[in-house]
Structure 1
Amino acid sequence: MARRPSSPQSSEDLLHVDRSAMQPLAERMRPRTLDEMVGQKRLLAPRSALRRAIESGRVHSMILWGPPGCGKTTLALLLARYADAEFRAISAVLSGLPEVRQVLAEAAQRFAEGHRTVLFVDEVHRFNKAQQDAFLPHIERGTILFVGATTENPSFELNSALLSRCRVHVMEAVSVDDIALALRQALDDDERGLGGRGLRVSEEALREIARAADGDVRRALTLLEIAAELAEGEDGEITPTTLAQVLADRTRRFDKGGEQFYDQISALHKSVRSSNPDAALYWFARMLDGGCDRAYLARRLTRMAVEDVGLADPRAMPMALEAWDTFERLGSPEGELALAQVVVYLATTAKSNAVYAAYNAARSDVQEYGTQDVPLHLRNAPTRLMKQLGYSQGYRYDHDVEGGIALEQTGFPDAMGERVYYEPVERGLEIRLKEKLDRLRAERETARRERGVSKSRDGT
């Protein structure tokens, strides 16, 4: 039997093929099912709550929080597909309130006709309070299944009203192994990927691309696509030379004003505090690599010298200031070594937050006791009237006293009595300070007690 000739492709089919060919590899390889997704094993594991909800079509409004390229948009698309719902996407960067209202009105009309809408809002943290509030009644009525995507901590960036109506799902950066798997799938896929082009690439080269992508699958596929285009002019092999060209300008994830920034400076500070110079150097290098303002790092290092080293090693603060000044004079990259030197010194030297704690305690007393009068004996008396009123009366000039300290003399307002704020630790120089202060405080207490007994005897 003769085979029937295949029917010619329609103009719409040809247009679809052309459009598909024009799409970036990352878009063409976007997963069509949950099983095709790479990474997110914790969130989408078999029998996990979210996976069961998606596969059953009973999804809820949610916030997807994770780094770029971890699959937030893909997961939103799959939510709509499994729920047999219309998918609409808007970007908080490009869309204003009028467009939001139009999309919501269309969703309401669709809901009235018995159809659901998954509304995906990319970078939802960039919407202001009024724009975020616009979604609330529609989420409550079920007009939309709201899916907000953000790279920032929702606790800080989203309204509590919106958070209360959505469940937050934390998505993780995709591992090197999973990204390498996605790259291999793209190379083997004849329909959507790079299969059939005769490309040759080693597994180690794929892993190098995966490492350079820094947890971002989309970025990895883009790098692979560029490498493939270069390789087609080199007999189809993605060589080390090709990779060197493609990966020349690799950068790590770092948001100068967002979650990554604050997480990394926290890690640097806590590593210094824990006397771990190796970890501290790592986070310092990470922040430099991400483009952090060097002056900001110098200021934070100076703060660490004051807050966490303190008087256990008084050399730390001037060393931090000198390193800051050195950086200002030398600039990058030479001046960064001076800052690195301070990182190591701060991490390895003795630590004490005794002054920091004492200062906070004193501030707390200022707020609690209000405006207390300065005791008369501590007041200056430059005029006759002030002397007649008792200003400076009873004050003992410490340098004229044996030992150089008028031990019985108080320095606090009468209503407060003596207070102890500064309690040196037994580390570094504060060991000696503690010995001296403990002795002085004991002698001062004895002198005040003896003076009190003397007063009671003579009635003065």
Structure 2
Amino acid sequence: MDLFSQSADADSAPLAFRMRPRRLDDYIGQQALVGPDKPLRRMAESGQLRSMILWGPPGVGKTTLADILAAASQANLEHLSAVMAGVKEIRAAVERARAAQARQQRTVLFLDEIHRLNKSQQDALLPHVESGLLTLIGATTENPSFEVNSALLSRARVYVLRKLDEADLIEVLQRALDDPQRGLGQRRIQADAEVLTTLARASSGDARRALGLLETACDFTRTDGDRERLTRDALEEVLGHQASAFDKQGDHYYDLLSAIHKSIRSSRPDAALLYMAQFMQGGGDPLDVVRRLAAIASEDVGNAEPRALPLVMAAWDAYLRLGDYEGQRAIAHAAIHLAVAPKSNAIDRAWKGAKGFVAEHPDFEVPTYLRNAPTKLMASLGHGEGYRYAHNEPNAYPAGHAHDCWPDELPATTFFAPSEYGQEKRFKQMQAWRAELDAQADRGTEST
């Protein structure tokens, strides 16, 4: 039985359930999968489904998408949750699929939280997916490559669903306010844009959560003539500190990001964690934090701790693979490392200096010996002539200012000045050593 055949319009059903889209044209988000000429749109239009696993965070429409695809293919839909279903329930679903097959009807098995199936349950399912008796649509918030056995995974295409962005969530909320049949349209509730924005931000990309918050907030509307008005005061009742955390101008939102950044720059890990926790528990997107950490890794830590940036990128990847709960801890891991690490802004200063210098000298020529020479003509013009391959040189370094890779017409300038901190101290020593090699080479040239 598909969820749409249940009493989705009953007043007692939660708003999020009532507002589930029934057609792809009403589906919000995931346009890379369901947009025009995209794979799931083509499946729905052709009615030919293939086994798949929908991987994404909560509230992005995995169950709804399965219902829409099954309905489009006119298949019988079996809906099981891996939390509740064992081998017995899977076998019962298989028997119903055989009965449906005898009636010339296909069966789609939607298996929620497929990552929770143990090996014996997956083994019980595999032959029926292989034979085509069941078309499997699995839903998971966890990386299926870690949780689903390779045999089953090889027979299903994995589609990655993304968190809904703020604009998507606002559209979800506005549609619920406007819809008179399944939504709140009969109440004629008016909500300002800032109210919907705050609800969207507090929902962390989860449409189900957004609609739940809206439904609760609408218990606190106030009468305004023949209409109801949803105000920020109502949000205070529902969201508490979240309502003020992400106001219309986003001041507190960005204040928290600033506090995280400055705490890490100041080597204060506890303060950084404090502001991160308030940010995330207030509905802030953890990916906004990890983006800021990536900037910090180069701007404030740099080569004083060269492992900083790879660690942040690993935390970013871990968040996307593990989901929100486990992923937040990976982000905290990276933040603590950045806060404790030695600090240097030498990269930031070097890059700003280089950009400023080029703005003043935009038209310099690349020295001939550094130019590419892919053709005989270019080689005959001297491109690449005189280039010294570093690995053939003593110390793997072409010493001397005659090969400093700097344009002749520009004044010599130093952008990167390593600090005395962490690994960058070693960088400074290496730069000094190479400078001495240059001096020795220059003296040798002069003596000849």
TM-score normalised by length of structure 2: 0.56
Q: Structure 2: where are the runs of 5+ without partners?
A: 1-5, 244-260, 282-300, 309-331, 347-420, 434-448
Aligned pair 1:113/2:103, yes or no? yes
Q: Shift of residue 349 of structure 1?
A: 4.6
Aligned pair 1:60/2:50, yes or no? yes
Q: Shift of residue 248 of structure 1?
A: 2.2
Q: Shift of residue 433 of structure 1?
A: 8.5
Alpha-carbon distance change, 142 to 18 in structure 1, aligned in 2, over 3 angstroms = closer
Q: Cα deviations across residues 5-52 of structure 1 (Å, max 9, x unaligned)?
A: xxxxxxxxxxx8797111100111100100100000111110112211
Q: Could you tell me which amino acid in structure 2 is paired with residue 63 of structure 1?
A: I
Q: Cα deviations across residues 52-79 of structure 1 (Å, max 9, x unaligned)?
A: 1111101101000001000000000001
Q: Shift of residue 343 of structure 1?
A: 3.4
2:17 pairs with one of 14, 27, 32: 27
- The 3-state SS of whatever aligns with 1:173 is coil
Map 1:275-354 onto structure 2 (within 5 A). Answer: 286=276, 343-346=338-341, 348-349=343-344
Map 1:190-205 onto structure 2 (within 5 A). Answer: 190-205=180-195
2:231 pairs with one of 239, 250, 267: 239
Q: Could you tell me which amino acid in structure 1 is paired with residue 341 of structure 2?
A: L
Map 1:68-87 onto structure 2 (within 5 A). Answer: 68-87=58-77
- The 3-state SS of whatever aligns with 1:119 is strand
Map 1:412-431 onto structure 2 (within 5 A). Answer: 427-430=423-426
Whether the aligned pair in 2 keeps the contact of 1:69 and 1:218 (CA below 8 Å) is yes
Q: Shift of residue 238 of structure 1?
A: 1.2
Alpha-carbon distance change, 17 to 157 in structure 1, aligned in 2, over 3 angstroms = closer
1:184 pairs with one of 171, 174, 186: 174
Alpha-carbon distance change, 216 to 57 in structure 1, aligned in 2, over 3 angstroms = same
The match for 2:219 is: 229
- The 3-state SS of whatever aligns with 2:78 is strand
The match for 1:152 is: 142
Q: Shift of residue 277 of structure 1?
A: 8.8
Whether the aligned pair in 1 keeps the contact of 2:53 and 2:158 (CA below 8 Å) is yes
The match for 1:212 is: 202
Q: Which runs of 4+ in 1 moved over 3 A?
A: 16-19, 232-235, 275-278, 281-291, 339-345, 425-435
Whether the aligned pair in 2 keeps the contact of 1:63 and 1:166 (CA below 8 Å) is yes
1: CA distance, partners of 2:7 / 2:121 = 38
Alpha-carbon distance change, 90 to 276 in structure 1, aligned in 2, over 3 angstroms = farther
The match for 2:313 is: none
Q: Could you tell me which amino acid in structure 1 is paired with residue 163 of structure 2?
A: A
Aligned pair 1:135/2:125, yes or no? yes
Q: Shift of residue 426 of structure 1?
A: 10
Whether the aligned pair in 2 keeps the contact of 1:200 and 1:237 (CA below 8 Å) is yes
Q: Shift of residue 116 of structure 1?
A: 1.2
Map 1:249-288 onto structure 2 (within 5 A). Answer: 286=276
Q: Could you tell me which amino acid in structure 1 is paired with residue 32 of structure 2?
A: R
Q: Shift of residue 154 of structure 1?
A: 1.0
The match for 1:94 is: 84
Q: Cα deviations across residues 218-241 of structure 1 (Å, max 9, x unaligned)?
A: 111111111112216787221111
Q: Could you tell me which amino acid in structure 2 is paired with residue 73 of structure 1?
A: T
Q: Could you tell me which amino acid in structure 1 is paired with residue 121 of structure 2?
A: Q
Whether the aligned pair in 1 keeps the contact of 2:200 and 2:210 (CA below 8 Å) is yes
- Deviates further, 426-435 or 35-44: 426-435
Alpha-carbon distance change, 199 to 347 in structure 1, aligned in 2, over 3 angstroms = farther
Whether the aligned pair in 2 keeps the contact of 1:107 and 1:144 (CA below 8 Å) is yes
Alpha-carbon distance change, 177 to 142 in structure 1, aligned in 2, over 3 angstroms = same
2: CA distance, partners of 1:22 / 1:130 = 38
Q: Shift of residue 286 of structure 1?
A: 4.3
The match for 2:250 is: none
2: CA distance, partners of 1:41 / 1:282 = 36
Q: Cα deviations across residues 245-283 of structure 1 (Å, max 9, x unaligned)?
A: 2122769xxxxxxxxxxxxxxxxxxx9xxx9999xx989
The match for 1:40 is: 30
- The 3-state SS of whatever aligns with 1:60 is coil
Aligned pair 1:174/2:164, yes or no? yes
Alpha-carbon distance change, 145 to 282 in structure 1, aligned in 2, over 3 angstroms = farther
Q: CA RMSD in A?
A: 4.0
Q: Shift of residue 428 of structure 1?
A: 3.9
Alpha-carbon distance change, 426 to 209 in structure 1, aligned in 2, over 3 angstroms = closer
Whether the aligned pair in 2 keeps the contact of 1:284 and 1:340 (CA below 8 Å) is no
Q: Structure 1: where are the runs of 5+ without partners?
A: 1-15, 252-270, 292-308, 317-336, 352-424, 438-460
Whether the aligned pair in 2 keeps the contact of 1:426 and 1:434 (CA below 8 Å) is no
Whether the aligned pair in 2 keeps the contact of 1:139 and 1:165 (CA below 8 Å) is yes
Alpha-carbon distance change, 195 to 90 in structure 1, aligned in 2, over 3 angstroms = same
Q: Shift of residue 118 of structure 1?
A: 1.3
Q: Cα deviations across residues 99-138 of structure 1 (Å, max 9, x unaligned)?
A: 1111121112211221111111111001111111211111
Whether the aligned pair in 2 keeps the contact of 1:199 and 1:232 (CA below 8 Å) is no
2: CA distance, partners of 1:213 / 1:92 = 26
Alpha-carbon distance change, 287 to 232 in structure 1, aligned in 2, over 3 angstroms = closer
Whether the aligned pair in 1 keeps the contact of 2:177 and 2:188 (CA below 8 Å) is no
**Higher Cα Rg, which structure:** 1
- The 3-state SS of whatever aligns with 2:10 is helix
Alpha-carbon distance change, 343 to 431 in structure 1, aligned in 2, over 3 angstroms = closer
Question: Identity over aligned residues, as a percent?
Answer: 42
Whether the aligned pair in 1 keeps the contact of 2:9 and 2:181 (CA below 8 Å) is no
